[in-house]
Structure 1
Amino acid sequence: MKSMAATAATAAVLLSVAAHPAAFASAPPAPAPAPAPAPAPTEFTVDTTSDAVDVDGADGRCLTAWGACSLRAAVMAANARPGSTITLPPGHYRLTIPPDPRLIIGDNPDPTTGDLNVAARTTIKGSGARSTVIDANQLDRAFRMQADSRLSDLTITGGVTRQRELPITDTGGGAIANGHHMTLRRVAVTGNSAGYGGGIFNVPGSHLDLIDSTVSRNVAGEAGGIRFDDTGTVTNSTIADNRVTNPGDRPGSLAGYGGGIDIRGRGPVEILNSTITGNRSSDGGGGINFAPAYLDSLPSPIPDVIDLPLGRMTLRNSIIAGNTVDGAPADCKKAFATIASLSNNLDGDGSCRLTAPGDLPSRNPRIGPLADNGGPTDTVALLPGSPALDAADDCPATDQRGVARPQGAACDIGAYEHTS
């Protein structure tokens, strides 16, 4: 009897399931918990010049083992709080933690060693380029920018990457390797060295806005001051006394070019109210070298190699003069590219081929050396009688130093506005 009753009960259940399948369907899996939101942006004020790691790089607190907030700890904490600001009081912030020896110098993704890896949108504010110094101490480059960034009112020096048979992103950027949109304002990038881009290396897909800043006295095997592999602007800035030496131990046709600026992307790159002088290279383009290296295809037949417009750079109200290749004048060199003047530029040796209204090709600019002429960064002054005086138009409201423009009948060409 029990067996018959059980059989009847089972049959009843099966009939019910058949009649109402939805009621007996397995419950859908519970939704995965939503990821915890990133901590809100905040402002970190660095309170020690020592180089120390954050004890917990994921909590966004900026706290070293002894309770201070170092620059490295602040960068690590800001990576957990996108949009944060790091404030640096006056001081000499020397990086002292060498890169992991198992990693090749220049290609160090570890935020706890070597260079400072900015991995989230971050603003870093100093107290003035003459009082706030970030010194990479010849251990590594200073910064690897893996997210949008803004730096202001500071100096970056002492950065280095080694010249080796490596991808250019591994040996590029003595001070900064930039992979995103970076703005430098009132910043001095000086005394750094690299295989490519002694001061700054901007990889494909990046953009640099250099404003009221100076890139000087950097050294590289190619691109002594800045290398652009994509787009950028240089405004009210000075690129001076950078040097390229072809070391002979690195293969490739790019070595030895671009003492001040080397452009290997298609651009556009815009240079406005700036001064490019005193830069040296061993092979070509003492001031500016523009030769795009990222070309998917070339037309056939190639018409005029020199003027084929596969890349574009524009100049306005700028001085390119006093740059050399092995001691001989050589302000500009281009191939597969166009250097377009938007008027009122001065070219010391005529190699930039300036033909727009107001241009002054093959003219002695009568300028001084790179020096402290007042203002937050070193500049190159116009001397009395310079043809650049009162020879520009449509200029920014101030020069690189913050001096109001114009001081005379019209604005001066270059980053410096002469005052009587």
Structure 2
Amino acid sequence: MTMNARMPALILLTLTLAACGGGGTGTPTPVGTPVTNLADSGAGSLRDTLAAAKSGDTLRLTSTGTLTLASPLTIDRDVTIIATGVTIDAAGKGRALDVAKGATVTMQGGTLKGGTGGVLPASLRRAALSEPTGRPSLDGVARLQSANLNTQAVTVTYGGVLSNAGTLTLDGVIVTGGKANIGGGIYNMEGATLTLKGSTNVTGNEATLAAPADATLEQGYGGGIFNKGVVNLIDGSISGNIAAYNGAGLSGGVGSRTTVSGGRIDANETTYPVTVSANDTSGSAGGGIYTLGDLTVSGGSVSGNKTAYFGGGITVQDSCIDAECTARNRPVLNISGGVIENNEQTDSSGRGGGGGIWTSGRTAITGGMVKGNTADYGGGVNTWFDTDITGGQISSNRVRFAGGGVLFVNKDRVFHIGGSARIDGNTAVTNGGGIQVGRASQVTMDGGSISGNVVTGDTDGGGGVRVTTGSTFNLAGGEIRNNTAVKTGGGITVNGTVNMTGGSITGNTVTNRIDARDGSGGGVRLYAGASMTASGGTISNNVAWYGSGVKLDGPYQQSGRSTFVLSGATVSGNRADDNNVAGGFWNDGSLSITAGSVTGNTARVGAGVYNTRIGLYSQTGGSVSGNNPDNVYNVP
């Protein structure tokens, strides 16, 4: 019994000793084939060890220090390279590393640096003919240029430090000090896959101009990475890179796919200024990311990047398939997580936009945060194509002009706000603190909230929403709440059309109390020619000097009087401040009440409805009652 009881312990001890080397020191045997010196070539060098390696081998550099290359290292088989503590320096002679098509390579640790890339070959130039070239232009589409890239006399370089045509994983690797015209740090080819993980950092690389005077040449793209294939950022960073034209952190070509699930793309900058010519305005774009391909962001951060023209953090741009632009490549942008913050579109001339995101792709935002970004227009998001915002938070963004949180641009597009989306705490100087509905576009909101946004200037309004001439805002649900404007339209200011079937416009404020600077329309301001129908929802508890619920304008210049039809909604609890007039409605336009109610509003006079001498008023249904001190007042 005693012997049997001890046997399991003896077996366990034997197995443990065997696992530790049979009672030795316990130091594990290093894995992989040793690379015994840091010479460029010869026995024991990385170059010779690679040439002799079999597919699936692991190569381990046993020394620390610098390996200075006379020419690039080429990897054409499946290997893992462990290079902790080693700098592989291209020393300005081409690039450090070429990964061939079909090879699967993992590099762990070490630094790749100091490359100047290679000459862009004819095969890549032929592929580039389907790519828009030259400087980014803010017209909603990247256009093909007429330059013949196959016969271009200027030498264009690509892949400053590394070129990948295979499947490459960088784990804890630094890629730095590269310069090339396309892909200052890395060029990831069509069909290739590049994965960044661990503490990998692509930093201090630059995409330069081969011919600054040639606006059509393919150059200045992708300071850190130029991607024609697939790039996955799992961890690590793409930081402190520079590009002349676009994508200082990463630039993607047509058909590319980029996924950011972790890590950082930060402090990158494009440098070409906004340039105005007789036929075009151009400049640099996409301080962090610029892509003509698909982009998915589910984690990580894009922060502190800068660009002159559009897309301080991210630019996703569609492109023409032919010179006439009869068909387009339309990329997809999906944001479900991560943070896009403190990016900036720097030119302040009023031509640029998209502090956080500028997109003309198909865009869906279901999560994540877009915050603290700055631009001329569209501080958080500037979107030109179908966009669905159903989650996440767009907050604390700032614009020098309009659209603090989101600027919607383009007619005949599908723009939607709903679900749990939050657009809050954004600031604009001229109008649209939360959102601007511009250029005859149409936005539908059926959920979420636009709250706590501000217009700071006194030339226009729309603390929550600004609807421009020819544009339409459909409010079916959600809240427009606690927004503020100095002059007018604490909740919404309208030149176009509002259709309200649900939701609420509540608790908004206009702060001005000086007659020459207006001070009207706490909930809604309708300029001359604007129209609104409210068949559901509530306009409540808004405050202004006068016209606290809704202010309707009469005819002005070429525009006719504004119109408001109350056909089922409730207008209640609005208050004219400083004991002024018109709690529910100030009517200089045309107000029709067919259903719904106007109740519980307060003012010195005209607590429910205040009709001026030119205002047209009719009530065929609904209820105007319980307002203090009166329900309807007609100016004599």
The TM-score, its normalising length taken from structure 2, stands at: 0.40
Shift of 1:184: 1.7
Question: Is the Cα contact below 8 Å between 2:202 and 2:237 reproduced in 1?
Answer: no
Cα distance between partner residues in 2 of 1:87 and 1:143: 12
- For 1:152, the equivalent position in structure 2 comes to 336
Alpha-carbon separation, structure 2, partners of 1:355 and 1:110:
41
Identify the residue that residue 188 of structure 1 maps to in structure 2: 369
Alignment counterpart, residue 88 of structure 1, candidates 257, 261, 279: 261
Distance 1:57 1:50, change over 3 A: closer
**Paired residue secondary structure (2:344):** coil
Aligned to 1:79: 253
Match among 133, 144, 147 for residue 301 of structure 2: 133
- AA partner of residue 57 (structure 1): F
Rg larger for = 2
Aligned residue type for 1:363: N
Query: Counterpart in 2 of 1:291?
Result: 468
Quick check: which one's strand share is greater? 2
Match of 2:387 among 192, 208, 212: 208
Equivalent position to 1:234, from 413, 417, 431:
417
1:266 aligns with 2:461: no
- Kept after mapping to 1: 8 A contact 2:441/2:471: yes
Distance 1:56 1:234 in 2: 33
Distance 1:270 1:43 in 2: 39
State how far apart, in whole Å, the 2-side matches of 1:69 and 1:212 are: 26
User: Which residue is equivalent to 2:297?
Assistant: 124
Q: Deviations over 1:96-150 (max 9, x none)?
A: 3x2235666x965577xx3411111232321xxxxx2210345660111113322
Displacement after TM superposition at 1:200 (Å): 1.2
Match of 2:314 in 1: 143
Q: Secondary structure at the match of 1:198?
A: coil
Deviations 1:188-230 (A, max 9, x none): 1100111111111123xx2221121211111112211111112
Instruction: Pick from 436, 454, 459 the counterpart of residue 280 of structure 1.
Output: 454
Q: Secondary structure at the match of 1:259?
A: coil
Aligned residue runs from structure 1 range 9-28, under 5 A: none
User: Structure 2 counterpart of 1:347, which letter?
Assistant: T
> Quick one: distance in 1 between partners of 2:368 and 2:270?
25
Equivalent residue of 1:185, what SS? strand
Q: CA deviation at 1:155?
A: 0.9
2-structure distance, mates of 1:35, 1:138: 29
Aligned counterparts of 2:194 and 2:505: Cα–Cα separation in 1: 43
* Cα distance per residue 1:156-188 (max 9 Å; x no partner): 01111135336x3xx111111112221222021
Structure 1 pair 286/354, CA: closer, same or farther in 2 (3 Å)? farther
The 1:274–1:123 alpha-carbon spacing in structure 2 relative to 1, beyond 3 Å, is: same
Aligned 8 A contact 1:46 1:86 in 2? no
Distance 1:165 1:85, change over 3 A: closer
Which amino acid is the alignment partner of residue 136 of structure 1? G
Deviation at 1:79, TM superposition (A): 3.1
- Give, as a single letter, the amino acid of the residue that structure 1 aligns with 2:378: G
Distance 2:445 2:192 in 1: 33
CA distance in 1, matches of 2:272, 2:225: 23
Match of 1:341 in 2: 500
* Contact kept? 1:63, 1:69, Cα under 8 Å: no
Distance 1:257 1:49, change over 3 A: farther
Corresponding residue SS for 2:524: coil
For the residues of structure 2 that align with 1:124 and 1:92, how far apart are their CA atoms? 11
Contact 1:270–1:315 (CA under 8 A) maintained in structure 2: yes
CA distance in 1, matches of 2:252, 2:197: 12
- Number of residue-to-residue matches in the alignment: 286
Q: Contact conserved, 1:57 with 1:80, CA < 8 A, in 2?
A: no
Equivalent residue letter for 1:99:
T
Cα pair distance change 1:107/1:347, threshold 3 Å = farther
**Residue 361 of structure 1 is aligned with which of 529, 539, 546?**
539
Q: 1:79 to 1:124 in 2, by over 3 A?
A: farther
Q: Distance in 1 between matches of 2:445 and 2:225?
A: 42
Structure 2: how far apart are the matches of 1:136 and 1:242? 18
Once the 2 structures are TM-superposed, how far is the Cα of residue 258 of structure 1 from its aligned partner? 0.6
C-alpha distance in 1, partners of 2:398/2:196? 32
- In 1, Cα distance between equivalents of 2:301 and 2:333: 18
Secondary structure at the aligned position of 1:284 is classed as coil
Go from structure 1 to structure 2 and tell me whether the alpha carbon gap of 1:79 and 1:327 turns closer, same or farther (over 3 Å shift). same
Instruction: Give me the whole-angstrom Cα distance separating, in 2, the residues matched to 1:163 and 1:100.
Output: 11
Higher relative contact order (CA 8 A, sep 6+): 1
Name stretches of at least 5 consecutive residues in structure 2 with no aligned partner: 1-125, 131-188, 206-221, 242-246, 276-280, 318-330, 508-521, 526-531, 544-572, 574-636
Does residue 198 in structure 1 map to residue 379 in structure 2? yes
Question: What is the CA–CA distance in structure 2 between the aligned matches of 1:76 and 1:328, rounded to whole Å?
Answer: 42
Q: Does the Cα contact within 8 Å between 1:49 and 1:92 map onto a contact in 2?
A: no
Match of 2:405 among 219, 225, 234: 225
